[in-house]
Structure 1
Amino acid sequence: MRLSAPMVVLAVSALVAACEPPSGAAVIGYAFPRDGQYAALVAAAALPSDTTIGAIRIVGDWDSGGIESAVEIARARRLVALPGVMGVVGHAGSRSTLITAPIYVDAGIPLVVPTATSSRLWELGEWVFPMAPTDSIEAAFLGEAAVDGLKASRIALYFVNTAYGTGIRRELQRWLTSRDLMLVDEVPYVIGADLQTLVEASLQRSRPDLAVLVGRRIEVAQMAALIFEHDPSIRLLAADGAYDQLAELMLAAGPAADSLYLTTFWVADTTIVVQRDFIRRYRLETGREPSPFEAMRYDAVMVLAQAIREVGPDRGAVRDWLRSLGADRPPYNGVTGDITFRRGARHNLMLVRLQEGVPVTVPEAGVW
């Protein structure tokens, strides 16, 4: 049965609005706004109905919507106050995670961070567990793809002026400096900016042969279309933030879509059993194709659930179990690959292009 978006609340937890989980349940908090709830829906359907310690419930908090700082802080405070909460998955981006992580650290609640990439997340202490490759790893990936793979010599960078965008900018500059190279232009922007004016001015003054685009799908698609219209010979290389809802990306980018090289954490592979099962469940529950962001969020929920099943409803024991993955315990076999929480351990970045709407891995890029 396909569930519509309004029913996600009921599928994840019958008592989300009140933030009151069933009595005696071990709870996993889910710190994403409403449009990020699909992974929680699928994970809830995949969890066993009972375990030796009782039920595990996923409780979301999206009443306020949005990702503004005040909203994220309020969301974190409500989640740490949940009775029985053993861990939280979130938040949506680097900035929102950095500003809310101290709340979880002070409360002694494990925070599994599926998609935020800031290197600073690794400095927040023993209760914070980043999953995604860091800014420095992704910047090196982008640099190698641009310089070694695409043979670019004049690289312009267009980046969203957030912790995510500025982090990649800083690390890409560092990587290029190590190769005695430098950017020919840097263009920061904020959400809602006049991208046409910014991009056109940059192209006129810098004449790049490759543009690195760092931001959300909406802005990256718009910039790609503008650059392609100006000069179709300019190669277009996008960071991971753009790889979301590919049909909408293609529609917005227009003819530029075929020229985009896209960075991603994950490309669906139905020949792998754990991925095939996830993709089937995801399609069944949502009527959509899973994005890499949803796959990472799903893995974050499921690794927390596995920790709770193995060590029981004890936050400290859950923290220690997560910390032991890849050391005293084998990595967790997730949809997106082996999961450990050792800094630098997850390097599964891929470069893809779209061929008739289907993502195809660029062979020479390999898997970092």
Structure 2
Amino acid sequence: MSQKNETPVLLLSLLITLALIGGGLWWLGRRLNINPLPDITQSNGTEARIPATLQDRFSTGERLLTQTASRDKEAGVTAIANQNYNEAVRAFEASLRETRNDPEALVYLNNARIAEQPAYTIAVSVPLATSIEPALEILRGVAQAQEEVNQQGGINGVPLRVLIISDDNNVETVRQVAESLVQNESVLGVVGHFGSEATLAGAEIYNQQGLVMISPTSTSVQLSGQGNYTFRTVPSDRFTATALASYLLDETGEQAAVVYYNAGSDYSTSLKNQFTTALTTGGGQVVEEVDVSDASFNADRSLTQAAQRGAQALVLTTNTPTLDQALQVIRANNRQLPLLGGDSLYNPRVLEVGQADAEGMVVAVPWIISSNLQSPFVQSSQSLWGGDVNWRTAMAYDAAAVLIEGLRQNPTREGLRQALSDPSFEVEGATGMVRFLSSGDRNQPMQLTVIQPGTRSGYGFDFVPVR
């Protein structure tokens, strides 16, 4: 045979060899879980890629996002990464028998049950690495909604997959997350983000690119009317401020207040400004504003100055990252002046650390479990998690319920936006009927709680309804 005739045969042999080698490397990479860009299957069978710089923050079950895990949970993650879904289901079920209140494990379990079936995907973005307790509270709401809808047969027969994202509540990270999500066509809606400044950063991108975002916890008035794709299930700071100002003026009879806030937080600044307006409108006055994020902040000194200015009450509009400073004020006050706080102060650490110094403090929240003990959501959540849930879980459940109902009406990004924007849209959630104003806000009053001795929390004190 001539060399001329041998050339095509040799080239063909070379191509076949390269293909076999490439296929073998691909198979080995999948088995060893070293694929640098994990696939997320869309409901139409196509694939979307996560940028390598963000891959450690995203998971549908192929990696852990929390810091600690049982051996069974780790086994479940490994099984999903290797596409061994039956083993993953077994492992996550075992993990949940050991730690039943783990929402990450429940989400991964439901995703493993879906395996490679077509599914509708929503994302939930929370600060798992920086604010673990609030993040888990939000995840419990989303996980419960996913569990319920999938147990009922899915959304018009299609199961719901949840993509969990750890965003640190960091503005720049949230921007990167939002950019990735809008490019991932499998994601039809987003539950998030946690803090108002992070949510505002994401909202700009989601609105530009046409992806619905529903925040269960961001209350800044700046979010109102941000765009057609921005919604929230938690009432805005305007409702919180009005409730606190009315209580101060009508129930305590006091009119002069010192307000503590974090100047670096949109949430905290928004609530401070709204409270000042509400108190002034009602005939009271804010005699001093104290920025707890200032390096020179001293709780004892601030109380001395408050007394000099004739303060009759202390109002904490601080946010979660400045909870320690708020606790310093609570301790230094020693129940001398009435204490009021925004929803960020509805935190178990206030009960654990504040103890008797926090007794009598009034905190405004969008929902409290002790006022809703007989509701179907509370009954289901207690059965699922083995204990009480708080307002963040309830609002996150509502956010997921909204996305589920919207997808039931029209399972596309634009169809979801149209469904939620319809004035007749409503869905029964954990906290009652969820409807949206044209601004994307939810029209719902706040509830007032007071810290009193009790046994429900395990810390000797509980948040209970004011009336």
Instruction: Report the TM range for the smaller structure's normalisation.
Output: 0.7 to 0.9
Pick the aligned partner of 1:58 from 131, 147, 162: 162
Q: 1:10 to 1:107 in 2, by over 3 A?
A: farther
CA distance in 2: counterparts of 1:111 and 1:321, whole angstroms: 13
Identity among equivalent positions (%) equals: 21
In structure 1, what is the equivalent of residue 358 of structure 2?
257
Comparing 252-261 with 271-280, greater Cα deviation is found at 271-280
Cα distance in 2 for partners of 1:224, 1:24 equals: 52
From 209, 222, 234, the equivalent of 2:312 is 209
Deviations 1:42-63 (A, max 9, x none): 333223154335221111111x
1:3 and 1:114 map into 2 onto residues whose CA distance is 28
Which residue does 2:446 correspond to in 1? 349
CA contact (8 A) 1:119 1:135 kept: yes
* Contact 2:435–2:442 (Cα < 8 Å) also in 1: yes
* Structure 2: distance between partners of 1:305 and 1:43: 9
Structure 1 unaligned blocks of 5 or more: 364-368
Distance (Å, rounded) in 2 between the aligned partners of 1:6 and 1:298: 15
Letter in 2 for 1:306: E
CA–CA distance in structure 2, aligned partners of residues 7 and 351 of structure 1:
29
Do the aligned residues in 2 keep the contact of 1:235 with 1:260 (CA within 8 Å)?
Answer: yes
- Give runs of aligned pairs for residues 1-368 of structure 1, distance below 5 A: 1-2=96-97, 4=99, 8-13=103-108, 22=116, 24-34=118-128, 35=132, 36=135, 37-49=139-151, 50-51=153-154, 52-62=156-166, 65-161=167-263, 162-190=265-293, 194-196=297-299, 199-215=302-318, 216=320, 217-228=323-334, 232-245=335-348, 248-268=349-369, 269-283=372-386, 288-311=387-410, 313-324=411-422, 327-329=423-425, 331-342=426-437, 343=439, 345-355=442-452, 356=454, 357-363=461-467
* Higher mean C-alpha deviation, range 187-196 or range 341-350: 187-196
- What's the TM-score, normalizing by structure 1? 0.84
Provide the C-alpha distance between the structure 2 equivalents of 1:242 and 1:292, rounded to a whole number of angstroms: 12
1:119-154 Cα offsets, whole Å, 9 max, x none, are 221221111112222222221111101111221122
- C-alpha deviation, 1:218, in angstroms: 4.0
Aligned length: 344
Secondary structure of the 2:121 match is strand
* Alpha-carbon distance in 2 for matches of 1:302, 1:291: 17
Contact 2:107 2:143 in 1 (8 A): yes
Specify the alignment match of 1:366 in structure 2: none
Q: Deviations over 1:47-104 (max 9, x none)?
A: 3154335221111111xx5222222222222333334211101000111111111111
Distance in 1 of aligned mates of 2:193 and 2:149? 21
Query: Compared with structure 1, are the counterparts of its residues 177 and 194 closer, same or farther at alpha carbon in structure 2 (3 Å cutoff)?
Result: closer
SS of alignment partner, residue 436 of structure 2: coil
Once the two structures are TM-superposed, the CA of residue 194 in structure 1 deviates from its matched residue by 4.2
Higher-Rg member (1/2): 2
Seen in structure 2, the aligned counterparts of structure 1 residues 210 and 11 have a Cα distance that, compared at 3 Å, is same
Which SS does the other structure have where 1:237 is aligned? strand
Measure, in 2, the Cα distance between the counterparts of 1:187 and 1:111: 33
Q: Output the amino acid matched with 1:92.
A: F
Query: Using a 3 Å threshold, how does the CA distance of structure 1 residues 8 and 349 change in structure 2: closer, same or farther?
Result: closer
Deviation for aligned residue 1:207: 3.9
Q: Deviations over 1:332-360 (max 9, x none)?
A: 11112221111565223111113323332
Could you tell me which amino acid in structure 2 is paired with residue 314 of structure 1? T
Deviation at 1:113, TM superposition (A): 1.4
TM-score (norm 2): 0.68
Higher relative contact order (CA 8 A, sep 6+): 1
Paired with 1:358 and 1:196, the residues of 2 have a C-alpha distance of: 24
Q: Would the aligned equivalents of 1:152 and 1:210 in 2 still touch at CA under 8 Å? A: yes
C-alpha distance in 1, partners of 2:388/2:97? 13
Alpha-carbon deviation of 1:238? 0.8
- What is the SS of the residue equivalent to 1:77? helix
Deviations 1:253-279 (A, max 9, x none): 121221211111111122122332233
Deviation at 1:3, TM superposition (A): 6.0
Deviations 1:157-215 (A, max 9, x none): 11122111111122222223323432111112229874435534533432422111112
Q: Gaps spanning 5+ residues in structure 2: where?
A: 1-95, 455-460
- Residue identity opposite 2:434 in structure 1: I
- The 1:237–1:47 alpha-carbon spacing in structure 2 relative to 1, beyond 3 Å, is same
In the alignment, the residues of structure 2 paired with residue 90 and residue 236 of structure 1 have an alpha-carbon distance, to the nearest angstrom, of 30
Q: Report SS of the residue matched to 1:190.
A: coil
One-letter amino acid of the counterpart of residue 179, structure 2: R
Query: Any conservation in 2 of the 1:31–1:76 contact (CA below 8 Å)?
Result: no
CA distance in 1, matches of 2:442, 2:208: 26
Q: 1:4 to 1:69 in 2, by over 3 A?
A: farther
**Cα 1:182/1:108, change in 2 over 3 Å:** same
Preserved CA contact (<8 Å) 1:209 1:233: no
Displacement of 1:309 in angstroms is 2.3
Runs of 4+ more than 6 Å apart: none
Distance 1:133 1:203 in 2: 30
Contact 1:244 1:292 in 2 (8 A): no
How far apart, CA to CA, are the structure 1 residues paired with 2:230 and 2:176?
19
Shift of 1:306: 2.0
